[in-house]
């Protein structure tokens, strides 16, 4: 029997987030970010989420092995009946699945080495193919590959911070909220509805009325209804793109340690405080040997790595950290 379960992912940027497109230049920005091809609104691709979360679950699992078992897979295999003895304070999802005894730090990676033509290097470097990381996120090893049980959607912007004369407010639109909301062209809705005019960045817009959103519309974002401004779908992309963070950095010559000539470059990023929304779907497979509850628990227990290691590029320059809000293992 196969089943599908999906969990909502709500996340908040703690730093500016830069998911690069690989050196495109738009206007005066050298390092541009990934955008939806149709709306032009920046996003975090599902592939970035799958890649980072894979790494973080592997890290959590690996760091839970007792020191004597960290490198020694043979020793782990000897503990046939007692998988829980391999770990310090094992979580349920670690000891529930026998395949976890084969896990190695190499399971964390994209596994480019599996493409290697050297038989020996395939043996040494490939994914283990057995552990919760490999089974959930997919693996390729030798002649065997498997596409995994988890599929991540893109994380799209749900609420985006902009400066107004009343302080920072978060804009959204009917489409981003996935709601039918009547709003006139070039006007905005606020929680009070009586500001007459309000600036969003440099753009001054007329307030049409109250937005009447409810607390449930805020998801687990921790924003308040008073923080939210709804703008028409026709304006949201333009306002977001006009209020992205643009940073100028200097390239350092690694040999001289000094700034290179003509080394100034600019990078755009999604600003801190932005709230994203997406989902992860889990497909039950494998005769139920590895169940979805354990997988979602593994995601939940490793989500805190996003707050230290982050997602995307330039994480050594203060970009990329974010917080996954809400629990992924709650029944939805």
Q: Residues interacting with Zn ion, by CB under 5 A? A: 103, 107, 128, 131, 133-134
User: Taking the CB of residue 50, how many other CB atoms lie within 10 A of it?
Assistant: 18
- Give whichever of 101 and 211 is closer to Zn ion, judged by the CB atom: 101
Output the smallest distance, CB 106 to Zn ion, in A. 8
Output the smallest distance, CB 129 to Zn ion, in A. 6
Nearest of 222, 218, 200, 198 to residue 208 by alpha carbon: 198
Q: Contact at 8 Å (CB) between 302 and 295?
A: no
Nearest of 241, 238, 163 to residue 200 by alpha carbon: 163
Q: Which residues contact 228 (CB under 8 A, 6 or more apart)?
A: 159, 169, 170, 171, 172, 190, 191, 211, 213, 217, 218
- Give whichever of 133 and 324 is closer to Zn ion, judged by the CB atom: 133
- Give whichever of 133 and 157 is closer to Zn ion, judged by the CB atom: 133
- Give whichever of 103 and 208 is closer to Zn ion, judged by the CB atom: 103
CA dist., res. 136 & res. 139, Å (int) = 9
- Give whichever of 18 and 135 is closer to Zn ion, judged by the CB atom: 135
CA dist., res. 327 & res. 13, Å (int) = 17
CA dist., res. 276 & res. 268, Å (int) = 17
Output the smallest distance, CB 52 to Zn ion, in A. 17
- Give whichever of 45 and 138 is closer to Zn ion, judged by the CB atom: 138
- Give whichever of 136 and 221 is closer to Zn ion, judged by the CB atom: 136
CA dist., res. 122 & res. 234, Å (int) = 51
Output the smallest distance, CB 108 to Zn ion, in A. 9
Output the smallest distance, CB 92 to Zn ion, in A. 18
Output the smallest distance, CB 53 to Zn ion, in A. 14
Q: Which two tokens stand for residue 173?
A: 């639109």
Output the smallest distance, CB 327 to Zn ion, in A. 25
- Give whichever of 73 and 260 is closer to Zn ion, judged by the CB atom: 73
Output the smallest distance, CB 94 to Zn ion, in A. 13
């Amino acid at each position: 029997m196969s089943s599908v379960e999906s969990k909502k992912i709500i996340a908040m940027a703690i730093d500016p987030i830069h998911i690069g497109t690989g050196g495109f230049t738009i206007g005066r920005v050298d390092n541009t970010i990934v955008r939806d091809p149709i709306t032009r609104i920046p996003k975090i691709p599902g592939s970035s989420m799958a890649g980072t979360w894979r790494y973080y679950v592997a890290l959590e699992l690996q760091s839970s092995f007792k020191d004597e078992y960290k490198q020694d897979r043979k020793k782990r295999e000897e503990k046939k009946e007692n998988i829980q003895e391999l770990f310090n304070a094992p979580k349920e999802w670690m000891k529930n699945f026998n395949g976890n005894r084969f896990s190695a730090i190499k399971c964390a990676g994209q596994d480019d080495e599996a493409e290697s033509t050297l038989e020996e290097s395939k043996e040494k470097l490939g994914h283990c193919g057995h552990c919760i990381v490999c089974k959930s996120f997919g693996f390729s090893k030798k002649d065997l590959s498997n596409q995994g049980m988890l599929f991540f959607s893109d994380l799209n912007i749900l609420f985006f911070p902009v400066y107004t004369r009343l302080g920072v407010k978060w804009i959204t639109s009917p489409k981003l909220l996935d709601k039918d909301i009547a709003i006139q062209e070039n006007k905005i809705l606020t929680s009070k509805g009586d500001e007459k005019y309000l600036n969003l960045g440099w753009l001054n817009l007329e307030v049409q009325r109250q937005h009447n959103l409810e607390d449930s519309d805020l998801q687990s974002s921790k924003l308040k209804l008073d923080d939210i401004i709804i703008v028409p779908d026709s304006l949201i992309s333009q306002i977001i793109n006009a209020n992205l963070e643009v940073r100028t950095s200097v390239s350092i010559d690694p040999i001289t340690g000094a700034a290179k000539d003509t080394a100034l470059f600019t990078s755009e990023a999604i600003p801190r405080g932005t709230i994203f929304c997406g989902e992860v779907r889990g497909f039950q497979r494998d005769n139920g040997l590895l169940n979805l509850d354990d997988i979602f628990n593994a995601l939940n227990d490793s989500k805190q790595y996003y707050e230290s290691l982050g997602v995307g590029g330039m994480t050594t320059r203060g970009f990329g950290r974010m917080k996954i809000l809400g629990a992924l293992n709650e029944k939805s």
